[in-house]
Structure formats: structure tokens, C-alpha cells
Amino acid sequence: MNPDITQIWVYLSASPLLGLTVTLLAYQGAFALYQRSGNNPLANPVLIAVFILVAFLSLTATSYETYFAGAQFVHFLLGPATVALAIPLYTQFKRVRSMLLPVLAGLIAGSLTAIVSAVLVARLLGASASTQLSLAPKSVTTPIAMGIAERIGGIPSLTAVLVIVTGILGAVGARYVFDAMKVRDPAIRGFAIGIASHGIGTARAFQVNEQSGAFAALAMGMNGALTAMLVPWIADFLMNIG
């Protein structure tokens, strides 16, 4: 390699500039593809961007730590963005209030289904106990899920991966599921996607419809709180009947 280029690379790979820039580039590329596909859920921008970045980091032998030193600036915005979800929630509050019963019933049924089905299917297929426990909180947003996994004896870093994959699966598949079920109400579609696949599902819901997005945000917040309370009990119960 030309010595000048090597020096430039040494500088870039040590500075946060590169991690931040490639994150924005990969996402914009992914988003352009997503738009060109007519917002087809299969062309999920998170999925494509992650794929591009993992390929790039592997090819350039860059560690995730180095990358994250730059990408953390984007990651940080998750906090204020979560707070900002209060605004669509406020705008849609009339609709939310008129649907109080379906919202509460859907929350409890969906939350229980997410926890119990994940653990039982994994057990049926012979997964280890710590893997089953890591799966239990997979439908809630990463910080809550990792905290739960730690408390019940799962592996928090494994849970983090499972949460992301769950989010992408829901964002990619939800439309086909709802269409097959003939569920057309944007409130129900949004709420169910928020229960099943937290923030990544919510992001997808916002791209489709503001009302869906508001209901997904509501579902994500409520399910985070409920799952944190339910999982320790359910995990205890499920592990003892095994």
C-alpha cells in the first residue's frame, strides 16, 4: 500500500469521524433502497444498513469498539428521540382514550404471548436454560431487556442480539401478517407491532402512518414496563415446571 494512504488510514481509523460518517452513509444508502422499493418492509433500512456496516468493518478489520467511538453520537440520540415520542402520543391521545379497553387487553395478551412462546419454543427445541432465560425479554427495548436478562440469570449480551433480530423480524413481517388477518385499523396495526418488536417496529410504523407510529410508541413503553414486572415471575414458573 502507498505509504501516504496507510498514514491517512491510520489517522481515520483512530478518529470517531469515520465511524460516524460510515453510519450515516450506510443508512442513507439503505434508506434510498427502501424508498425505491416503495417502502417495502423486506427492504428494512436497519437491516440493510447493519449488513453494509458489518461487511465494511469486517473487510477493513475494524473493531466494533473503534467503530462505536464514532457511532455513539448517533446512538446517543435514541434517548431524546424516545422522549420525543410523547408528542405523537399527545396528538393521538383522543384515539388512544377511545380505545382504552382494547389497548389494555392487547397489552396483557401480547406481552404474555411474547414471553411464554419464546421460552417454550426454545425449550422444545433443546436450548439451554440460560438461552431460554435470555429469550424471555426479547420483545422490549434493549436497555430494559438487558436489565431483565441480568436479573433472571440470562446472558445480557445475547439478549441484546435477540432484541435486535426480533425488532427486524417484526418490522419486516408485520404487514404480511396483518394483511392476511385483514386487520386494517392503523391503531391496532401500530399497537401490535410495538408490542412484538419495540423501537425498530415503531420506527417502521412511523414510516407508514403517524397514528400507527403513536400507537406503536405507546405499546413499546407499556410493554417495557409490564415485561419488566412479569418476566421474573414467569421465568421462575416456567423454569420450575420444566
Binders of other proteins in range 96-135 (CB under 8 A) = 98-99, 101-103, 105-107, 109-110, 113-114, 117-119, 121-122, 125-128, 131, 135
Which of residues 7, 40, 86, 179 is near other proteins by CB under 8 A?
A: 86
Of the candidates 24, 215, 238, 18, the residue with the CA atom closest to the CA atom of residue 107: 215
Q: What are phi and psi of 2, to 5 degrees?
A: -55, 130
Classify residue 41 by its DSSP letter: G
What is the per-residue binding string for other proteins in 5-34, x denoting contact by CB under 8 A?
------------------xx-xx---x---
Q: How far is the CB of 129 from other proteins (least distance, A)?
A: 12
CA angle 116, 118, 122 (to 5 degrees): 115
Residue 131 and residue 229 in contact, taking contact as beta carbons nearer than 8 Å? no
Of the candidates 142, 178, 175, the residue with the CA atom closest to the CA atom of residue 159: 142
Which of residues 12, 33, 129, 169 is near other proteins by CB under 8 A?
A: 169
Q: How far is the CB of 2 from other proteins (least distance, A)?
A: 29
Q: Could you give the count of Cα atoms lying within 13 Å of 98 in the half-sphere of its Cβ?
A: 6
Residues 63-82 within binding reach of other proteins (CB under 8 A):
64, 67-68, 71-72, 74-75, 77-82
Nearer to other proteins, 12 or 173 (CB): 173
Q: How far is the CB of 38 from other proteins (least distance, A)?
A: 17
Distance CA 42, CA 93 (A): 31
Q: How far is the CB of 242 from other proteins (least distance, A)?
A: 14
Nearer to other proteins, 1 or 125 (CB): 125
| Burial of 140 (C-beta count, 10 Å sphere; 0-12/13-18/19+) | buried
Q: Could you give the count of Cα atoms lying within 13 Å of 230 in the half-sphere of its Cβ?
A: 22
Gyration radius (Cα) of the chain, Å: 20
Which of residues 18, 92, 133, 138 is near other proteins by CB under 8 A?
A: 138
Distance CA 185, CA 202 (A): 16
Q: Is the dihedral of CA 150, 153, 155, 161 positive or negative?
A: negative
The residue range among 3-11, 42-50, 233-241 that interacts with other proteins, by the rule CB under 8 A, is: 42-50
Nearer to other proteins, 6 or 130 (CB): 130
41 binds other proteins (CB under 8 A): no
Residues 176-235 within binding reach of other proteins (CB under 8 A):
177-178, 181, 183-189, 191-193, 195-197, 199-200, 202-204, 206-207, 213, 217, 219, 221, 224-225, 228-229
Q: How far is the CB of 93 from other proteins (least distance, A)?
A: 8
